[in-house]
Amino acid sequence: MKLSKSGKHVFASDFGTSFYKFGPWWLMKKGPDVVENRGYFPKISKVSAEIRGITPREVIVGPEVTEYLESRADLTRLHYPMRNGIVERNDERGWRVIKELVRYGLKKYYPGEKAVDGTPFNGFYVVVSLAAQSPTYMFERMFSIHEEVNAEEGGNLVRAVTIIPQPLAVAIAERATTCIVIEAGHGNTQITPISRDVIRTALIPLNRGGSDSDRIAAQILRDLGYPELAREEKFVRIFKESVGLVPIDLDKAIKWAKEHPSVLQSVFRIPGTAVEVDMGDKVWQRFLIGEYFFNPSHEIFESYYSRGFTPPKDTLIGGEVIPGNVSLAEAVKRAIAKTPVELQAAISKNLILSGGAFNWSVPPALKGVATDSPTKMKLMLSKLGIETKPKMVSDPQYSVWRGSVVYGMAVPETLRWNWSTLEGWHYV
């Protein structure tokens, strides 16, 4: 990645539901910095803080959060602002967390008077990537937050800000002009037909993502007799990543697992912890964790719903209700149907999967029973009469960030922000 002739120093900020990925253009080969998209509001008196040598702050972000946690009850003061890719308009705590994450990222990579390539530094050109369905107030708030942070930190951190939909950033990173990007993060999934730009009338955002696999994993932990562990979001996520499997066919996978109990690992020592989880004869439930993201309408989940486990929330788009438990393949079919007929064939052929919710591994011993995300989508879509070969981006977790850097380099400095086209630079 070469710096533009004008010396534009691009800084990309990808605000995912679970993680904030950030960094300047010179990290392009290495990849972005990553911290959890959360903040901790400590309950500590000024006197106690002085005695302990701690500077009292309203909110803590980044790696320091773990230094402030004291007990499981303390977790109630953790705030995750983007549950479904959106920060609610009146969630002032959430916006406070976002502001401190912006400050943390920009200050960490502020190079001083000269950037790493020796060119004069006059502030970052910040590209903020948000969920494609983000309302206007989020754009406005992001602009004002960067203005505030820049002013509070001396006025030389930020030169200008622009905003890009996360799926479009993926398409840019993949050099795709006509495609469907399925960007599946922790809290939401954006099914986004693109023909040079996002076809907003065909966009289907689902209130479903990696967090829903976390929720079913937490319920499985409760049923196994580990209710305390099920309350800790971070542990549940680690458990899901260690245990979860995507079945080729759920019914056949469950039957196979019950007939071959010794093949499936049932006892797990969770990495980075001192905890061991024994799934015993319920080891077949490993397949439920992956299946739930792809198809929460499978009849096996009805038993969970009948016990009070809530399915993903419905989505309202232009008066049309998209059921929260719609299969991912059916949602893709609906998105395709919303595009012009002459585009549908071209769009269907280029299906791009991106995001951490698609990161599923297949143990060698389970080939033929478990599968990866592209194969799962191919099989599900084929049953609906859509023949395609979905591809996973080479770097599913960082594709949005990389595409944002490329976009920032390409947008001319003379192009001012336009609220009609949602393009250009907003100068601070």
Is the predicted pLDDT of residue 235 greater than 60, yes or no? yes
Mean pLDDT for the chain?
89
Mean pLDDT over 399-407 rounds to 94
Spatial separation of the C-alpha atoms in residues 142 and 158, rounded to whole Å? 13
Mean pLDDT over 370-375 rounds to 96
Compare 4 and 248 and report the one with higher pLDDT.
248
pLDDT above 90 coverage of the chain, percent: 63
> pLDDT value at position 387?
93
Spatial separation of the C-alpha atoms in residues 251 and 253, rounded to whole Å? 5
* Confidence tier at 307 by pLDDT (50, 70, 90): very high
Residue pointed to by tokens 């799926």: 167
Mean pLDDT over 180-190 rounds to 88
Compare 188 and 170 and report the one with higher pLDDT.
170
Tell whether pTM > 0.95.
Answer: no
Tokens of 98: 């976002």
pLDDT tens-place string over residues 1-16: 554 445 689 999 999 8
> pLDDT value at position 90?
93
pLDDT tens-place string over residues 21-51: 999 999 998 999 999 898 888 876 555 556 6
Q: Which residues contact 185 (CB under 8 A, 6 or more apart)?
A: 16, 17, 18, 85, 131, 166, 209, 210, 355, 356, 357
The number of residues making up the chain comes to 428
* CA angle centred on 256, ends 251 and 258, rounded to 5°: 100
> pLDDT value at position 217?
95
> pLDDT value at position 4?
47
What domains does the chain contain, in order, with CATH numbers? 10-38+80-174+397-427 (3.30.420.40), 205-318+321-392 (3.30.420.570)
Is the predicted pLDDT of residue 157 greater than 60, yes or no? yes
Q: Which residues pair with 204 in a beta bridge?
A: 191
pLDDT tens-place string over residues 190-222: 999 999 888 988 999 898 888 899 999 999 999
Mean pLDDT over 278-291 rounds to 94
> pLDDT value at position 79?
85
